[in-house]
Amino acid sequence: MRRTLSRYLIEEQREKGKINADLRLLIEVVARACKSIAVAIGKGGLGGVLGEAGSDNVQGEAQKKLDVISNEIFLEANEWGGHLAGMASEEMELPHAIPNRYPQGEYLLLFDPLDGSSNIDINVSVGTIFSVLRCPEGADPTTDTAFLQPGTKQVAAGYAVYGPTTLLVLTVGDGVACFTLDREQGSFVLTQENMQIPEDTKEFAINMSNLRHWEAPVRRYVEELLAGKEGPRGKDFNMRWVASMVADVHRIMTRGGIFMYPLDAKIRDKGGKLRLMYEANPMSFIVEQAGGAATTGRQRILDVPPTGLHMRVPVILGSKNEVERVAAYHQD
Ligand code: AHM
Ligand code: MG
């Protein structure tokens, strides 16, 4: 029998007691928003959704039309259900307050509505990343402070990949499940349960154009991989870089690998490239739930104390033994 996302969530709630009704509603609403984003992306040039929006986000990056559309879809879908206290997004400087006319819930939703934006106009996979936290008792969900909790506090996280098929990969802290969108039925159907990342790998993902800016540990690690069979690792490694974190992470979730967006001299002042709260944390939660590891090189990502809603961190995640090796090189 086909197990839809709804059924999976009911089981997590009723049989396993892993989630409550509000969190179940939240995830269902997020999944529905991802379906709407998939439809918008699917229209491409026919829907007039490609190209620049003509505005910048808080990080000073030019927004694409689909960045703005996807953000709107997430806000509208999640505002009125009564399951949220507040929302924060890559595309908004400040948290989004739930309008007074709607009931307030206990959860905080953080998201990157459209990750990998540079790939939209060339018809390559993009995605959505989200993280769910509890709003601390007495905290004001219209301020950053309510959101500034370490990744270990996440109660759910997931990503959608808009590729040849639309996938939703989800954890509620009970392993990782993958759902495929049945476009005819309009429902997400469970296609893989208990995803596991192999501990070893022969595949790595990093933007090699930054090589000259990297710190010594990452340079050493990648140089050893590049040396192949004749080098200290004694085997050949292959490289992939989609430049959509969702697509790169999904490959690693499927067949293993290591993904790195490390600190480099060019981005040192910013602290890294990827954002902690709605990129690194949810992906690290998912990767750890699948038996992988995630580090900044110096610290487990989920333990990083956040200092700002849009804080950036170095990210090294994937197959456990490789990630641990890179972390060990940082210790040396
Ligand atoms: P975005 O959220 O603005 O799309 O940026 C994040 C993306 C990641 O998906 C990807 O891993 C990285 O930026 C690619 O960066 P680069 O173009 O430097 O290779
Ligand atoms: Mg992103």
What tens digit of pLDDT does each residue of 174-196 get?
999 999 999 999 999 999 999 99
Query: In whole angstroms, what separates CA 91 from the centre of its chain?
Result: 15
Cα-to-centroid distance, 127 and ligand 2 (Å): 8
Which of left, alpha, beta for 281 (phi over 0: left; psi -120 to 50: alpha)?
A: alpha
Say yes or no to pLDDT of 145 above 80: yes
d(CA 210, CA 96): 35
What is the arithmetic mean of pLDDT over 222-246? 98
Encoded tokens for 49: 């959704």
Question: Residue 287 — φ and ψ, nearest 5°?
Answer: -65, -45
Looking at the CA of 125, which ligand is closest? 1
Judge whether residue 59 has pLDDT over 90.
no
Q: What is the mean pLDDT of the chain?
A: 95
Give the Å distance between the CA of 258 and the centre of ligand 1.
16
Q: pTM of the prediction? A: 0.97
The response to whether residue 56 sits with its C-beta less than 6 Å from ligand 1 reads no
Helices (H), the chain: 5-14, 21-43, 65-79, 144-147, 216-226, 245-255, 281-289, 320-331
Going along the chain from its start, the domains and CATH numbers come out as: 5-192 (3.30.540.10), 203-331 (3.40.190.80)
Which atom in ligand 1 lies closest to the alpha carbon of residue 244?
9
Atom of ligand 1 nearest to the CA of 207: 19
Q: What is the SS3 assignment for 173?
A: coil
**H or E segment and range at residue 165:** none
SS3 sequence of 263-279: CECCCHHHCCCEEHHHH
Decide: helix, strand or coil at residue 302.
helix
Beta bridge partners of 99: none
Strand partners, 168: 160, 179
User: How far does residue 275's CA lie from ligand 2's centre (Å)?
Assistant: 7
DSSP-H helix ranges across 80-174: 144-147
**Residue 267, ligand 1, Cβ within 6 A:** no
Would you state the pLDDT for residue 64?
A: 82
Res 61 pLDDT > 90: no
